[in-house]
Amino acid sequence: MKILHLLYESKGDYFGIGGVGFRAYEIYKHLRDRHDITLLCKKYPGAQNKEIEGLRHIFVGTESKSLTKTLLSYAYQAVMFVKRHADEFDIIIEEFSPAIPTFLHAFTKKPVILQVQGYTGTLYFKKYNPAYALMLYIMEHLRPRFYKKFIFISAETVKKLLPENLSPSPSPPPVKGGGRGLDASSGVGKSIAVIPNGVSPELLDTQPSEGDYILYIGRIDIYGKGLDILIKAYREFYKSFPDIRLVIAGDGRDMEAFKAEIMTLPDHVRKNIELLGWVSGDKKVEVINRALCVVFPSRHEVQSIALSEARACGKAVIVSDITEFSEVIQKRAGIYFKKEEAISLAKSMTNLVTNNERKEMGQRGRDLVKDYTWDKIALKYQEFLYRVLERYKYLNQIIISNAE
């Protein structure tokens, strides 16, 4: 297959890379030798068209340090690229972002799959000014209505964005050489697959140890990831456990603001917080393995890759009590706290570092993710793409036959 993937974040991006980009690189690492893959990415200062990790990268848009300007220019230039070059590809995958109004379905007859990583909803109004938040909220609910082919990361997001497609509905006509596809369901005229995030198989073979710190690993997004809550909670936790450090591994556009927030802490607390920046490979494995536990204080989440990696390493976790983390509690793979409440998080940190069942919790978490390695996820992803492409060819044949 010749695949075009509109990926608005990429390796080396000035604005950072999160789960959207990480997922794409992990999946295509297992598919790049079988398919011709092009990533159409937003331009950032210094970006140049080239091959990165065996994948062709084309950057479009305007070089700017303004994220809004960069995203809007990317949306326009991405549409222009698709209008000119769509016929050079077999299938197109578009990463969904309400801030990138492309509506690609209107500019090509090639099959376009909208990949939806998550749902934000009314949380936009707590993070942005009312006018911008309203625009994002409307676009989040409006744009998916124009598409017919979807990959979702979780069933929870399907419920929130396409609730009418949850009820069983008639299957489409059979496709030559394929069925309905793995993990896929179809509404009338729609093809929907739920393909979760994965973990690297080597993480499942690591031997966890315990150091002297609690770890946060993930994007530095103060509001979305609840990092302001974490800092307040650690200040309270420190009063009883001054020998246990807080280690922050990650990067993102809020890094400078986050550093400023840490600077407001008393010196003795601040000196116990270590910022590692972005970690990967063996360094990331080491950082996770040596943690007492891993904390995820998010106000909003989809399906956290960092959480899956922590569980793959056999680590007990602390999570906020949002719906997306409910499996952690149901399967007793960690403990929770009341979201937005720093005192509740401080108590949960105390409870877990003094809990003799941390290893058992970690093992239960590892058991939950052992069948979701990236190589298996990539095969599910590939199978759905094949199914969509075969159905597209099948319907085209019908149209041609009827015209004759």
Q: What percent of the chain has pLDDT over 90?
A: 65
pLDDT in tens, 131-179: 999 999 999 999 998 899 999 998 888 988 887 765 433 333 343 333 3
Six-digit token string for 368: 């939950």
pLDDT greater than 50 at residue 376: yes
Q: What count of residues does the chain have?
A: 404
**Which domains can be identified in the chain, with CATH numbers?**
2-198+373-403 (3.40.50.2000), 201-369 (3.40.50.2000)
pLDDT in tens, 98-126: 999 898 888 899 999 999 998 888 888 98
Amino acid at 285: V
pLDDT greater than 90 at residue 16: no
pLDDT greater than 60 at residue 229: yes
| pLDDT given at position 175 | 37
What does the alpha-carbon distance between residue 87 and residue 81 come to, in Å, rounded to a whole number? 11
pLDDT greater than 90 at residue 90: yes
What does the alpha-carbon distance between residue 59 and residue 98 come to, in Å, rounded to a whole number? 20
φ and ψ of 236, to 5 deg: -70, -45
pLDDT in tens, 313-361: 999 999 999 888 988 889 999 999 999 999 999 999 999 999 989 999 9
pLDDT in tens, 27-41: 999 999 999 999 999
Please return the burial class of 168, using the count of CB atoms within 10 Å of its CB with bins 0-12, 13-18 and 19+: exposed
- Residue pair 73/371 in contact (Cβ under 8 Å)? The answer is no
pLDDT in tens, 362-372: 999 999 999 99
